[in-house]
Amino acid sequence: MKEFFYLLFNGITPIQFCVFMFYATGGLLLNLLFDICGRRPESLTSPKKFSIKYWFNDNWKRILISFILLPIIIILFSEIMGNEINIGNAFFAGFSSDAIANLLKRRSLIGGAKQ
């Protein structure tokens, strides 16, 4: 069973994986915060006053895709980047996973709130 987890997590122990997920979630949340702070109230599709309900309805698919990408990026990080994963790289992976999902949203590959 130990060998199974070693192969499943690509040599990362389950405890390390949990710690990396914690820091990656921090990076993801920071990117979401940047998105909230960078909104334009004068946009035709955005409400004048910020609404967390509207924001969540507009971004729930993006958040879901980001959380699906997190463990995949963490497990495959050493193959993708050529470096061993550490806490800083995990934070970057979380930030990047949401940036990728945001790019997909902006390219209309995943939808947002209905107008």
29, part of any domain: yes
| CA distance linking residue 9 with residue 47, whole number of Å | 43
111, part of any domain: no
pLDDT at 115 (0 to 100): 44
Here the tokens at position 28 are 């993801």
Q: Is 61 helix (H, G, I), strand (E, B) or coil?
A: helix
Number of domains in the chain: 1
54, part of any domain: no
For the stretch 46-104, pLDDT in tens is 778 888 898 888 889 889 988 998 999 999 998 988 889 999 999 999 998 888 888 88
Phi, psi for 9 (deg, rounded to 5): -95, 10
pTM of the full predicted structure? 0.82
56, part of any domain: no
For the stretch 29-56, pLDDT in tens is 999 999 888 877 777 777 788 888 988 8
Cα 72 to chain centroid, rounded: 11
